[in-house]
Structure 1
């Protein structure tokens, strides 16, 4: 095998590779020797078919496979010898397309190499960690909101009409084509109007109803309804209103605390305080992460592979275009041009991505199977009822796994750098932290 360099310009590399006919023939012979013990042919015992006959019978069939393996092997050896790591999939082209058996194979290999990443003294990086303590007023406000979500209902004055948000207690019987159907009846059913827990249009027709009213509710089951015998069918529900109740916030006491798994009100307040401070810590981490990335961006400079930058700029432009045109769900739209602003942002992202990947590799940062499983489960919750199918889809899709693994890996590298950097704490108010977070969103 002969390898000749044809291009060395910045990170761009080009090579001409010649695989001789002899090397290719040797590869075919290796495959025949490997297969010989299992080959049976009329007139010969198993494993005793002469090599010449095997080659005549199977050589042509093995030639294409041998060519691919030989070229792949030549590329692998080149990258091992050169130490280059391609930024994207290398371009491989066979130049003697009119090749005939017995001739050498000529292949052109081109790619952009990943750059050498300079060393970074993480201990020289200075960061400020914002710290917010949950005060009594914030805990009381969160407790009040919690009480509203755990609302109770009190009977309205006799003769009051039900309003949106009220709870009504009803007996109902549903019929399709005059016939009652399974699951279409209940007694003393508490229904909160506006909760959208019933078929679309059902709750709207009960707004304005009073105790002892009988209301005929006419609805159409959705086409995608779970029960096939009801999907798309018109139905009539006879509803008897037995109570109309107004919502009220639950009382803030030990009973409320027990509803949320605490022993008493003091325990619930402690839980709320811990949750608030965890939320504040998460926001503060995002602010400190941005500060770290800004510091690394200023501290480090190296040549970037143009193909990676162009691909990232195109992705940014595409994403921003869809954000500006939310009505367009598919990708049947005009070609989106990248701007200097897109390229500037792409430069930063590619540089920091390569840098963090290098730092993580040198520090032997790993994403564990347990962390991946948790990430997949968190994502699967976005697809209620289809969690298992989503889990199986991710297990069979390497690209999707990488999409989930990448942010986990990045966060672990960020945490690794935080441990080495000089971090000072600064206690601030909730409003100050909020302003810092808003500043991130504006950039």
Structure 2
């Protein structure tokens, strides 16, 4: 096998690989010899079929498989010898398209090599970790929100308003005929909850206990029951009671509804949760500051193809954000701007840098961390968690999408451990402004 360099410009590489006919024939013979003991053929005992006959019978079939293996082997040997790591899958093609058995194989391989990432001293990086304590006002605000969510309803005089609860009997009819599942008694309906067909709840605003009302609605075209989809319906409604919302009292009894022993325990739980949320937000601010410093600190040549692909993806994503009504990709090609390319260069540079640092530090994503990430994603598909879990398990690309952010965060933590980190206590509002500033950049 002969390998000749044909291109070496920046990170672009090109090689001409020649595999001689004798090498290929030798590999084919090796394969046939391995299979020979198990081959049976009429007129010969098992394992005693002569090699020339084997080549005539099976040679063509083995040849194609062997050619691919030889070319793959030549590529792997090249990368092992050169130390190059391709940024993307190398482009490989045979240059002697009129090849016939007995000819040498001539292959052209081109790729962009990953750059050498320069060393740097993380101990020289200075960072600031923002710290926010959950004050009593924040805890009280969270308590009031919980009390509101745990609200009860009490009878009221007068007309129902949005947010009130009406207790109703109703019978639904289509074309004058009652339909299955369209009736109930003493049904508690919170007005404004959106739990009934569009237009139903709005027509009950203003009713009082004892009122009877014919509510006219139209079932949505995409309604689950096909025999009702798109149909006009009338619901004969009798209002039994009108109730106003009443927030739960903030006391030990309410705390126990949320699984706490008493009110003080619930306050402590809220304080811990709030401070965990603040810490998570503060971490994002510090991570951005770290990435900014790394972007300034480390510079190296980038594979053009990676930058172009990233810029195109950024341009495409931003275009869809600006055109939310377009859900498919049947649109003109989105050309990246200079701004898109600049952002792509930053992302590619930081991605390669973090990947290199993670590899050197032997950072790994554990099976437990992957399982937790899959479970977190699966919660977005209630009732289909098992199917989603299996889908991810069988989809390497999806696994990589979930693994990448975990790996990145672990590498960031590794760098932070070596950096000079000071703490600064600030208010919740100041933290909020710092987080909002991340979106503005």
Task: Give me the TM-score of the superposition, normalised by structure 1.
Answer: 0.94
> Which of the residues 402, 406, 409 maps onto 1:408?
406
Is residue 2:305 matched to residue 1:290?
no
Separation of aligned partners in 2, 1:215 and 1:31: 85
Q: Post-superposition shift, 1:218?
A: 4.2
Task: Pick closer, same or farther for the CA change 1:236–1:34 going to 2, 3 Å.
Answer: farther
Q: Post-superposition shift, 1:84?
A: 0.5
In structure 1, runs of 5+ residues without a counterpart are none
> Which of the residues 321, 330, 333 maps onto 2:328?
330
Identify the residue that residue 43 of structure 2 maps to in structure 1: 43
Q: Post-superposition shift, 1:269?
A: 1.2
Q: Post-superposition shift, 1:30?
A: 2.3
Separation of aligned partners in 2, 1:252 and 1:388: 39
Q: Secondary structure at the match of 1:343?
A: helix
Q: Post-superposition shift, 1:34?
A: 2.6
Identify the residue that residue 197 of structure 2 maps to in structure 1: 199
Separation of aligned partners in 2, 1:435 and 1:85: 42
Q: How does 1:33-72 map to 2 (within 5 A)?
A: 33-72=33-72
Q: Post-superposition shift, 1:248?
A: 2.7
Task: Pick closer, same or farther for the CA change 1:385–1:201 going to 2, 3 Å.
Answer: farther
Task: Pick closer, same or farther for the CA change 1:369–1:178 going to 2, 3 Å.
Answer: farther
Separation of aligned partners in 2, 1:56 and 1:271: 78
Is residue 2:116 matched to residue 1:116?
yes
Select between 2-11 and 209-218 the one with higher mean Cα deviation. 209-218
Q: How does 1:281-320 map to 2 (within 5 A)?
A: 281-320=279-318
Q: Post-superposition shift, 1:113?
A: 0.6
Give the length in aligned residue pairs: 441
Q: Post-superposition shift, 1:216?
A: 3.4
Q: Post-superposition shift, 1:21?
A: 0.6
Q: Post-superposition shift, 1:409?
A: 0.5
Q: Secondary structure at the match of 1:436?
A: helix
Q: Post-superposition shift, 1:142?
A: 1.7
Q: Deviations over 1:268-322 (max 9, x none)?
A: 1111111111111111101110111111111111111111111111111111111
Is residue 2:23 matched to residue 1:23?
yes
Select between 265-274 and 379-388 the one with higher mean Cα deviation. 379-388
Identify the residue that residue 74 of structure 2 maps to in structure 1: 74
Select between 382-391 and 371-380 the one with higher mean Cα deviation. 382-391
Identify the residue that residue 239 of structure 2 maps to in structure 1: 241
Separation of aligned partners in 2, 1:103 and 1:320: 52
Q: Deviations over 1:404-441 (max 9, x none)?
A: 11111001111111111111111111122122112211
Separation of aligned partners in 2, 1:419 and 1:143: 36
Separation of aligned partners in 2, 1:200 and 1:42: 78
Identify the residue that residue 268 of structure 2 maps to in structure 1: 270
Select between 399-408 and 254-263 the one with higher mean Cα deviation. 254-263
Identify the residue that residue 4 of structure 1 maps to in structure 2: 4
Q: Secondary structure at the match of 1:358?
A: helix
Separation of aligned partners in 2, 1:191 and 1:87: 59
In structure 2, runs of 5+ residues without a counterpart are none
Task: Give me the TM-score of the superposition, normalised by structure 2.
Answer: 0.95
Q: Post-superposition shift, 1:266?
A: 1.1
Separation of aligned partners in 1, 2:280 and 2:150: 26
Separation of aligned partners in 2, 1:304 and 1:83: 17
Task: Pick closer, same or farther for the CA change 1:34–1:206 going to 2, 3 Å.
Answer: farther
Task: Pick closer, same or farther for the CA change 1:20–1:216 going to 2, 3 Å.
Answer: same
Task: Pick closer, same or farther for the CA change 1:36–1:205 going to 2, 3 Å.
Answer: farther
